[in-house]
Amino acid sequence: MSTQTPTHESDIEFAPLGHASSSPGKSIDIINFTLSIWKPLALGIVAGGILGVLMYLRMGPVYEANTRILVSQRAAVADSPRETNLTGERSEHVDLIMSDDIVQRAMDKFGLRELPAFKTAYDPLMDVLDSLSAQRSAGRDSSFVNLIDLKYAHPDKDVAKKVIAAMVAAYDDYLEETRKTNSSELYEALTRREKDLQARIDELEQAYLQFRDESPWHASTPPIVTANGMVAAGQSPYQARVERIRQDRNENDIRKAEIQSRISVLQDMIDKGESRETLEFFVLQWFSSGSAATQGSGGAGLTEPPGKAQLDNRLLEAQLLLSRLMQHLADDHPSVLRLKEQIGSILSFYKRKGLAPPHVDDSLKAAPPAGQTEEGVDLVTSFMQLQKQKLVELDHRDKLLAKSLEEAEIEAKRASLFELEDQKRKDEIERVKDQLKTALTQLSTFAQYKDQEGYRLKQIAPIRVDRSRTRPIKIVGMFSMMGVMAVFVLLYYREWSDISIRTLADVRSLVQSPIFGAVPSFRPQLFRVPDTSRLGAELFYYHHPGSREAEAFRSIRTTLYASLDGTDDRLLQISSPEPGDGKSTTAANLAIAMAQSGKRVLLVDGDLRRPTLHKLFKLRSDIGLVDVLSGDVDAETAMQETAVEGLRVLVAGAPPANPAEALSSARLGRTLHELRGECDYIIVDTPPILAVSDPCIISPHCDGMLLVIRADKNQRPAVRRTQEILAAHGVRLHGVVVNALDAEKDEGYDVQSYAAYYAEETAPTPAAPAKTQSEPANVTV
């Protein structure tokens, strides 16, 4: 039932419900402990049940009123009729019914406060709530209806019925009031929102008009109608202008590249020393093919209206080519005639446009380069000058286009930002208008469905009042449980706080030495001996050799012989932790058992303070160990024979003034050494170890000690302290004898099972001479 681990730090450690801490200490096996106290627990159940019945009779019966109500949710106003919520809640009604607000409403508006049962109550609300229960009995999490059962218990059946009726009416009133309040609040919120949205629209439109008024003129983007008739946004005119300028710049760059290429190629041919005819042929090829390719030839070049610069370039190129051809060809040559027609077309175009053609004839008659004559115009030089002039004009045009592009991009960005801000303001106005439309729809829907909001309550069962059947079960069960718990707690605390030694397991956990045996509790009826007996009644081994107590000492004797076999240990000291442990009785019975096995045994009473052996054996006490130690008599003279054959006793003698000094004399060791040769075994009965220091004075003269521990008397701290003292003095501990052991409390020690083997003899059994030092252990302890 309990176990003990040796420790020097603490004697007791509390471990609730058998949970032992990590440090060494006591722990209780909760299962075995509960099984061991089943009888007290059963008694606690019975006692608690009886108290419960008495309490129920004292309190009287309780009546329980109950009814069932149906709470269903009406349609709620939402953004659209399709979004109307038609589902109920799972537990909100139960929580509301059980709230203080509903109970207070039932008290004030429906007359519960006027009932005598609640007039004098300290807290009538809590009185109602303590006995009121509401439970949802039907439906699921998203069901349309809620079926709720209401119950109220009270000793007065009329009060119970009125409370249920008042609670139903109070909750119905609460639902109706909540519906009206919510409808009013919702209508005010919708109306206020409609006004706020209308004011917001007016504010945004006014701000938009002011924005357009303060903004500069802006060309709007024309829409585009697609092939399928859809209208899409077209390209912004500002972005179209940017793209046109970029395209003009690209064309200008291409023309510049072409002119630079011509100049580079022609200059490379001049540097290589090509002939005049080759250079002129190359220029003529450019005039006839390159110019035609890029600018057209004849009248074809004027199919599109050219600018002034283009006309001048074409006229100059044509006149240069004509001047060169007339040096080699006749005036009626077809090429000359065709070129003159082209010049005439250009001049007529000048006339139609109202422009003045340039006079290039004189300008081309410049001084010829070195090595050339003045007959005619130098075609190559004129061509180079003309191309460089074009290149300068294209560079100037490129700068103008770059500036125009920069201005166009700035204007396009400004227009884009304007369009974004304009669209943002328009979208904001449309969004608020949509919200206003929704608010108006909600307001219209509310006017149509305002009577369908909230919940409706219907009582679908009458109020029934019955005597509560569960009340007596609850009261009796509660008191029975209280009785069990009280018994368990008391016994558990007693078990945990108990530091005494009860079982052999307790002894094994405390001492490391072997346990020689256990002597059961004495049975008083066996100690009745005639007054004429030569030995005391406590010496039951002599008076009742067939008893279980005597059998226990036979077992101890056998174990002692086995432990001493093969050694020269024959002088045995017997002591105990505290007075009253039964060490003297144990020493006397063990000596008788050893003497009756055929051994010569001397029993010495070393307890000079409270000698006992002379009373047990009914011997004279005037001469004993004290006289031997003082030198007045020798040991042989002081020893006395007993009624047990082979057993002699050396009593203590008259108590000295200072027993410790008497035992400390050198005569004690010499006396015991002399007696060793005359006996097979010497047993010295010494005082308790924790009481005086005498046992430690005697122990150096003995071969070892046999420690007697009394169950249900010695406590664990005392046994630990005893072991510490013996270890400090180097005392050799042969073993332990457990005295007064209760066999019914010790697990595995069941003497009752062997009761048939114990003959209740009343006469002593004569001792048989022993030829060996040990006898077989034929008894199981």
Residue 496: pLDDT band (50, 70, 90) is confident
For residue 535, is pLDDT > 50?
A: yes
Res 276 pLDDT > 70: yes
Per the CB < 8 A criterion, the answer to whether 543 and 535 are in contact is yes
Comparing 121 with 700, which gets the higher pLDDT? 700
Mean pLDDT calculated for residue range 260-287: 81
Window from 68-72, 292-296, 494-498 with minimum mean pLDDT: 292-296
Q: Mean pLDDT, to the nearest integer, of 64-70?
A: 91
Asked if 336 and 304 sit in the same domain, the reply is yes
Q: Does residue 486 sit in the same domain as residue 565?
A: no
Clarify whether residues 482 and 581 are in a common domain: no
pLDDT band at residue 775 under the 50/70/90 scheme: very low
How far, in Å, CA of 615 to CA of 625, rounded?
15
Express as a percent the part of the chain with pLDDT over 90: 29
The pLDDT of residue 139:
57
612/735 same-domain check: yes
The average confidence (pLDDT) of the chain is 79
- Give Cβ neighbours of residue 79 (< 8 Å, ≥ 6 apart): 438, 441, 442
pLDDT at 472 over 80: yes
Q: 480 and 550: one domain?
A: no
Statement: residue 756 has pLDDT above 50: no
Q: What is the CATH number of the domain that holds 550?
A: 3.40.50.300
Tell me: do 266 and 350 sit in the same domain: yes
Is the confidence at residue 180, as pLDDT, over 50? yes
Check pLDDT > 60 for residue 741: yes
Binned at pLDDT 50, 70 and 90, residue 203 comes out as very high
pLDDT category at 359 given cuts 50, 70, 90 is low
Whether 490 and 520 share a structural domain = no
Most confident range (mean pLDDT) of 286-295, 568-577, 755-764 is 568-577
Task: Specify the higher pLDDT residue, 215 or 206.
Answer: 206
Q: What is the pLDDT of residues 366-424, one digit of tens each?
A: 344 444 434 444 667 777 887 888 888 889 989 998 999 899 889 888 888 888 888 89
As a whole-number percent, the residues of the chain with pLDDT over 70 amount to 78
Tokens 């159940």, residue located: 45
Last residue of a domain, one of 361, 387, 410: 410
Q: Does residue 141 have a pLDDT over 80? A: no
Residue 675 lies in a domain: yes
Let me know whether 491 and 575 are in one domain. Answer: no
Considering the domain boundaries, does residue 26 fall inside one? Answer: yes
Domain with 684, as residue range(s), is 508-528+535-757
- Identify whether 446 is part of a domain: no
Q: Specify the pTM.
A: 0.46
- 486 and 401 within one domain: no
Q: Is residue 685 pLDDT above 60, yes or no? A: yes
Distance CA 264, CA 266 (A): 6
Q: What is the pLDDT of residues 567-606, one digit of tens each?
A: 889 999 999 999 988 999 999 999 999 999 999 999 999 9
Quote the number of domains for the chain.
3
Measured in residues, the chain has a length of 781
d(CA 283, CA 75): 96
Contact in structure between 356 and 398 (CB atoms under 8 Å) = no
Per-residue pLDDT at 93: 84
120 part of a folded domain: no
Per the domain annotation, does 649 fall within a domain?
A: yes
The region of weakest confidence among 40-49, 711-720, 749-758 is: 749-758
More confident residue, 506 or 191: 191
> Which whole number is the average pLDDT over 353-375?
50
76 band by pLDDT with thresholds 50, 70 and 90:
low
pLDDT category, 690, cuts 50, 70, 90? very high
Q: What is the DSSP string of 230-270?
A: -EEE---HHHHHHHHHHHHHHHHHHHHHHHHHHHHHHHHHH
Do 399 and 349 lie in one domain? The reply is yes
Quote the pLDDT of residue 84.
Answer: 43
Q: Is residue 149 included in any domain, yes or no?
A: no
What DSSP element (H or E) covers 683? strand 681-685
